[in-house]
Amino acid sequence: MGSLGAMLRHPDDVYPLLKLKMAMKHAEKQIPPEPHWAFCYTMLHKVSRSFGLVIQQLDTNLRNAVCIFYLVLRALDTVEDDTSIATEVKVPILMAFHRHIYDRDWHFSCGTKEYKVLMDEFHHVSTAFSELGRNYQEAIEDITMRMGAGMAKFICKEVETIDDYDEYCHYVAGLVGLGLSKLFHASGSEDLASDSVSNSMGLFLQKTNIIRDYLEDINEIPKSRMFWPRQIWSKYVNKLEVCLFLCMFDLKYEENSVKAVQCLNDMVTNALIHMEDCLIYMAALRDPAIFRFCAIPQIMAIGTLALCYNNVEVFRGVVKMRRGLTAKIIARTSTMSDVYGAFFDFSCMLKSKVDKNDPNATKTLSRIDAIQKTCRESGTLTKRKSYIIKSEPRYNSALIFVLFIILAILFAYLSANRPTNM
């Protein structure tokens, strides 16, 4: 649930939050009885509760394939992310990972917390993989092989240019888009989307994560990581080695904060170029469950970019959507008109934050205007609830009292249904 303060400021979040909480509890109970499948779905909920929720809507065979696809790539990503693994050990594992998924005895200890459990007990994932249809297996193997090779390449290569940045994002996320398109097609539910728009679906999400996770990446232990391309950040700093790219400790100085935010805005503007492809991809989907599965993360991404844009807090802490807004997005996203409305609303929020003195203001506004034009031309913008409240409404004591009653009932319900072994 969201914080009490946030719910008092946004009481219309309460109902979507309640629905989300109940849906998550229901999803966590839908665990298959077989030990290997039970492990996979339990692990899925641990590494991504929101993903574990939206995947439940898919057809059983496709849901199993997407679950295993996700866990295989999370395991591959865990190897790449573990900066304590020596390069001479890491690279061969990444290159051979697509073969390991066929080996029920293979495992490799790395990562932390739930990711370490995933790696230590990877045989459960391999066993579940072996039960998938051959068309699903081939798609997963192909993407895993290409992603592992791409990750290995960038273990030994810096992200220097924007082309490098796009290539890196293609390997770690664009290929996820291609893989999901293959799985959707293999299920018989969708036509095979083009590689171009499938790639953009992944790049838009990945670039959003790279922007949002800046501070976490540079504070990575034992070795910091930097995915922002030198071609962008070099326009705003002199030496990365001296200031660690405007690290959090230097941002107390106003001159560094201004440059940091300008660089951030440049990064966001770069990500916006993928939005139109994302709309094209989603508009072509036919299956309602697949549509929601794809659309919800994309709306979350543009909402997160709107929050990050021109926001120095990206360099000082975590910038993310409030829980209630996330719940609203999940509850409201059912049709393409919902997507157009959300993209329009969050692009308006982003546009309102553009400083005309920003070096990239013209380019940023041009990309926002292009996406807003597409949304308007859909003819559906009047058929949805806005995500943007123009002014804060005033709530009387009676409404606040009702809110507390609802929360009390919820907490009582959750306590009554809590497992006795917890």
Residues with catalytic function: 168, 212, 225, 293
Listed in sequence order, the residues at least 6 apart from 331 whose beta carbon sits closer than 8 Å to its beta carbon are: 16, 19, 20
Both tokens of 372, joined, read: 């807003």
Please say whether the beta carbons of 338 and 332 come within 8 A.
yes
> CA-to-CA distance for 401 and 397, rounded, in angstroms?
6
> CA-to-CA distance for 147 and 161, rounded, in angstroms?
20
Both tokens of 123, joined, read: 């045989």
Largest CA distance in the chain: 65
Please say whether the beta carbons of 52 and 45 come within 8 A.
yes
Cis peptide before 222 (omega within 30 of 0): yes
Half-sphere exposure of 106 (CA within 13 A, CB side): 14
